[in-house]
Structure formats: C-alpha cells, structure tokens
C-alpha cells in the first residue's frame, strides 16, 4: 500500500498579465493519494492481481508564494475539489513455460465523469529464452485534466467532459541481435 500527500504552489508570469496583479496566475493544488495492489498465485499456472487507486484533490487556494489571492488572469479562483477512484484487475494463466495469457482491465470514476472502462488481453509465446512473440489487444479510455473537466461541468452540470479512447491491436516478436 502506498499513501501520499502533495502540495504544489504556482505563480506563473507571462508577458501579458492583469494590471492588478504581478503574476498572470497564482494558486495552489493539494492532493492526497492512496494506492494498493494485491496479488495471489492460486497455483503455478494461475495468478490474480487486484488493486485500487484513489485520489482527492483541492484547487483554487492561495499559492503561498505571493501575497496575491488565487487567480487565473483577472478572474479570482474559488476553492473546489475533485476525487477519482480506479479499480484494476488482472488474471494470468500460464499453462506451461512457453505460453501465458493475460486478461485484465481498469475502471475509473471521477467527480466529473461517469465510469470509464479500459479492458486488455494478451497472449505471449516464448519458445526459448531468446525469442518472444506477443499479441496484445487494449482499449484505453482516458479523461481530461481536472481543470478541463471542471470547466465543462460549470458550463453544463450534465456534461461528461472530454475523454479519449485509444484502441490497439499489437503484435511483436523479439529476437536478440546476432553475435
């Protein structure tokens, strides 16, 4: 298990800034995070891993680096928060030393999105230590940044925000260099 707390103070200076402030933007971001991964090998051929990834973030507080209030441009920032939860799992079946099959995925939920699902599968064949062939199929769904999702929510509370979906089918074969 891993837990952490981060604090980031920002004071950004661009050539163009509001007349009433020395900095173009100033604010603070704080994050509490927690992650855990559990794995279990039921037999030599079967293994399972499950995990979770949680974070809670606070935005829009004074930066602590300047006397200026939290702002972006000439707009004062009001404090706001977001949370995200990720659940992941993977099953591995290795019927012998040459073959392995992986089935897994991840489900993510954020304060400003519904659940996002990212499944994956792989088959690995290793006829020798020097040769490996892999076939992978994945669909990764990623969300936008917290600030982009918050702006979309402020404009329309029913909005799901922007997500990006990447689907891939990959085949690779590794052969070591000839000596």
pLDDT in tens, 43-85: 999 999 999 999 999 998 888 888 888 877 667 788 889 999 9
**Structural domain contains residue 179:** no
Of these ranges, 58-62, 101-105, 115-119, the one predicted with the greatest mean pLDDT is 101-105
Q: Which domain holds residue 91?
A: 2-174
pLDDT at 74: 66
Tokens of 62: 């004074």
Domain count, the chain: 1
CB within 8 Å of 29: residues ≥ 6 apart = 6, 7, 8, 10, 57, 58, 59
Q: What is the pairing mode between strands 116-128 and 99-110? A: antiparallel
pLDDT at 13: 82
User: Above pLDDT 70, what percent of the chain?
Assistant: 98
From CA 158, how far away is CA 142, in angstroms rounded? 19
The phi, psi pair for 152, rounded to 5°, reads: -65, -40
**Structural domain contains residue 132:** yes
pLDDT at 164: 84
Q: Is the pTM of this model over 0.85?
A: no
What is the CATH classification number for the domain harbouring 45?
2.40.170.20
Q: What is the pairing mode between strands 25-41 and 46-61? A: antiparallel
163 falls in which pLDDT band (50, 70, 90)?
confident
């Amino acid at each position: 298990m891993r837990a952490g707390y981060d604090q980031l103070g920002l004071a950004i200076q661009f050539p163009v800034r509001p007349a009433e402030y020395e900095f173009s933007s100033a604010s603070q971001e704080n994050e509490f995070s927690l992650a855990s991964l559990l794995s279990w090998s039921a037999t030599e051929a079967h293994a399972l891993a499950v995990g979770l990834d949680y974070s809670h973030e606070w935005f829009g507080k004074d930066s602590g680096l300047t006397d200026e209030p939290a702002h972006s441009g000439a707009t004062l920032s009001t404090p706001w928060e977001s949370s995200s939860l990720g659940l992941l799992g993977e099953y591995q079946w290795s019927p012998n030393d040459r073959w392995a099959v992986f089935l897994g995925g991840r489900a993510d939920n954020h304060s400003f999105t519904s659940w996002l699902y990212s499944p994956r599968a792989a088959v690995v064949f290793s006829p020798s230590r020097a040769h490996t062939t892999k076939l992978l199929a994945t669909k990764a769904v990623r969300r936008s940044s917290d600030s982009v999702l918050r702006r979309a929510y402020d404009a329309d509370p029913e909005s799901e925000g922007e997500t990006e979906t990447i689907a891939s089918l990959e085949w690779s074969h590794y052969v070591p260099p000839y000596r």
